Amino acid sequence: MNPVTIGILGSALLLFLLFLGMPIAFVMMFVGFLGISYLTSLQAALPVVAKTVYETASYYPYTIIPLFILMGGFAGSAGITRELYETFDKWFRKLPGGLGIATITSCAFFAALSGSSVAASAAMGTIAIPEMRRFNYAPKLAVGTVAAGGTLSFLIPPSLGFVVYGMLTEQSIGKLLISGIFPGILLSFAFVTIIIFQVKLNPSLAPITPGKVSFKEKLLAFSGIWETLLVFFIVMGGIYGGFINPTEAGAIGATALFVIVLLKKKLSLHSLSASLLEAVRISVLVLFLVAGANVFSYFLALSTIPTAVSSWMAGLHISRYFILAIIIFIYLILGCFLDAISMMVLTMPVVFPVVKTLGFDPIWFGVICVIMMEAGLITPPVGLNVYTLAGVVKDVPMQTIFRGAMPFLISMIIIVILITIFPKIALFLPSMMGR
């Protein structure tokens, strides 16, 4: 059999094993190993697997992953999530859907400290949903807002999504992180618009919150966001200015938040161990996924499938944007069955060469890709944020959370279209950075 046929059979075997429920990291490694063994030899395949796993685990820049996760853990321990919510509640409570707007804004600010969307959903779910229930917000709007708001941590830096994309495609992680700032702000505004639009159509979804907040109280409320702004500007400002690299930025951010936790006297042995264990758990998960993807990518390269697909698509006399639309549609479908990071590592070996052949900017496509991964966090039946929220709010059915998140999913597609029409939204800040 020719290499392309072997590549197709290997990909089919991978999908079959995935549907059987096997872990994606080990499936990709196993199928990649079998394919390399067939196309070369067993003696050649064994060192490839061993070398890939070792190099992935020992590559110093990848220490950015546990550092970004630690930032989110320390931010939660410091009570920053609650302070953010209380601040924006005072500012937005009189707007239509004010508590929902406060939730989205709090999620956006918390995303500036945490790369984990699951952590953001869990933290905000325990704070915002009881408050919205207290003022008779419709359950669908309340849970949908938190589920969607939590996804912002996958886009707004420090973002685990951009880190994984950079690892898989060998793009500048610093530029990728910076590229998420404007799209993240734009998507936050889109979520707020969705809330206002829904409440205007049906005011019973979100009754006006009683109580009046003076202008002085609003100004004093800003004391609840200084830690977030300080750490964000230190971390992202350092990367943007070229003073520190992303790994150093993660270390500085984690240290700064650790000091804040100490100063607030909120550090406990339980919270410290929980933050460290979460950082280890997610880091090991991601590193095995990347190692598996690299082994599978090596197999696909030997099979020449990426080259064949790229050449075939380049030979089609259709708009490259039509092909991009197909890729986005595929991501939307895959989001129904795979979690965000698994979806990324599974598709990049084939999709990324096609994107480069079509002439799209890799940094720009990284933003498109991460937004589509975000969409996967709230699409049925495997929306990780929805499952997380269902565990926090046990008396709300998952169907209700999925329905509540659907309008926000539509807004993500609209933002993807806007960034496609106006790529400078994603590329302006990275273009101003040095190499």
Q: What is the pLDDT of residue 412?
A: 92
182 pLDDT tier (thresholds 50, 70, 90): very high
189 pLDDT tier (thresholds 50, 70, 90): very high
For range 388-412, the mean pLDDT: 83
Q: What is the pLDDT of residue 374?
A: 85
Report for 247-256, 325-334, 411-420: range of highest mean pLDDT: 411-420
The three-state (H, E, C) secondary structure of the chain, written as one string: CCHHHHHHHHHHHHHHHHHCCCCHHHHHHHHHHHHHHHHCCHHHHHHHHHHHHHHHHHCHHHHHHHHHHHHHHHHHHCCHHHHHHHHHHHHHCCCCCHHHHHHHHHHHHHHCCCCCHHHHHHHHHHHHHHHHHHCCCCHHHHHHHHHHHHHHHHCCCCCHHHHHHHHHHCCCHHHHHHHCHHHHHHHHHHHHHHHHHHHHHCHHHCCCCCCCCCHHHHHHHHHHCHHHHHHHHHHHHHHHHCCCCHHHHHHHHHHHHHHHHHHCCCCCHHHHHHHHHHHHHHHHHHHHHHHHHHHHHHHHHHHCHHHHHHHHHHHCCCCHHHHHHHHHHHHHHHCCCCCHHHHHHHHHHHHHHHHHHCCCCHHHHHHHHHHHHHHHCCCCCCCHHHHHHHHHCCCCCHHHHHHHHHHHHHHHHHHHHHHHHCCHHHHHHHHCCCC
pLDDT of 266-286, one tens digit each?
878 888 888 888 888 888 888
Q: What is the pLDDT of residue 391?
A: 75
pLDDT of 194-203, one tens digit each?
999 999 988 8
Q: What is the pTM of this model?
A: 0.85
Q: What is the pLDDT of residue 222?
A: 77
pLDDT of 38-48, one tens digit each?
888 888 888 88
Say yes or no to pLDDT of 434 above 60: no
What residues does each domain of the chain span? 3-431
Q: What is the pLDDT of residue 422?
A: 94
- Top pLDDT among 406 and 126 is at 406
Q: What is the pLDDT of residue 314?
A: 67
121 in Cβ contact with 143 (< 8 Å): no
Summary mean pLDDT of the chain: 85
pLDDT of 339-364, one tens digit each?
778 888 888 888 898 888 888 999 99
Q: Look at residues 65, 74, 38, 36 and name the one whose alpha carbon lies nearest to residue 52.
A: 36
11 pLDDT tier (thresholds 50, 70, 90): confident
For range 136-162, the mean pLDDT: 87
pLDDT of 46-77, one tens digit each?
888 888 888 888 888 788 888 888 888 888 77
CB contact set of 298 (below 8 Å; sequence gap of 6+): 32, 36, 48, 52
Q: What is the pLDDT of residue 435?
A: 53
395 pLDDT tier (thresholds 50, 70, 90): confident
Say yes or no to pLDDT of 28 above 90: no
